[in-house]
Amino acid sequence: MSNSHLSRMRGKEFLQRAFASEQSCLLAKLRSSDRIIHDGDRGEVNEQYFIDVLRLYLPNRYTVHKASILDSEGQISESIDVVVHDRQYSPSLLDSESHRYVPAEAVYAIFECKPKIDKGYLEYAGKKAESVRRLKRTSVPIPHAGAKPYPPKPLFPIIAGILAIEVDWKEGFAESFQKCHAELTELQKLDCGLAVDGHLFDTFSGDGMFTCCKTENALVYFLFRLLNQLQSLGTVPAIDWNAYAAQLSK
């Protein structure tokens, strides 16, 4: 074996081992929360673990919070465990210590955090996704130094997913899971999911097919696939703040 080939093999082995340790650490934290008696308290702790790891890996143009989503007509989504939203061009609104509203236009992705992924939790996460995707999003022309402003940016589909410790189906995200997923409505369909014990799925390939994987590197594999999908969305649309202001006038 040549030295260059050996170096490449060792490099691959290093990456696999290093990122596998990230997954092991998160899994240990999530499982240690079992000692918390109350389900609500345990859920909040696990949500924060997922928020922390997303903040660690996502660039600074994104921010991650638990939030509700608000549109220019005053419609509000259900409370969402994890919201990936713009931090460069869009503020969050009515912030308190533990809660905020995020304008619908600023949302890139939403996730529900559950102890496991099964049919019930899949349907629950789908309904949460629908409560966000049904909201109205505005988009206005973007001024720049040239003679004419850029036209309004087309709205991209909001990514929706589910995050958990484990998956309930013995075969992971294979046929049984995909049959359940097919029963969701278009606004409820999830684009991705992660079970930190080593399973993931996404539909980011663009052909409607599932990419499924079982690996000790599921966490970071999932994060890199998510990063690539977020990059493909570009920036969020410019918000029509006058549409929001109009709701506040008599």
Catalytic hit among 71, 105, 114, 189? 114
If we measure between CA atoms, which residue out of 62, 73, 27, 47 comes closest to residue 234? 62
Known catalytic residue: 214?
A: no
Q: Is 128 considered catalytic here?
A: no
Look at residues 196, 165, 195 and name the one whose alpha carbon lies nearest to residue 177. 195
Answer yes or no: 153 catalytic: no
Check 47, 71, 86, 112 and give the catalytic one. 112
For residue 58, give the nearest of 69, 48, 50, 67 by alpha carbon: 50
Annotated catalytic residue: which of 47, 71, 81, 86? 81
Please give the angle made by the CA atoms of 163, 169 and 175, to the nearest 5 degrees.
Answer: 105
What distance in Å separates the CA atoms of residue 166 and residue 193, rounded to the nearest whole number? 11
User: What is the distance in angstroms between the CA of the first residue and the CA of the last residue of the chain?
Assistant: 78
Strands 62-70 and 80-86: antiparallel
Catalytic residues, by residue number, are: 81, 112, 114
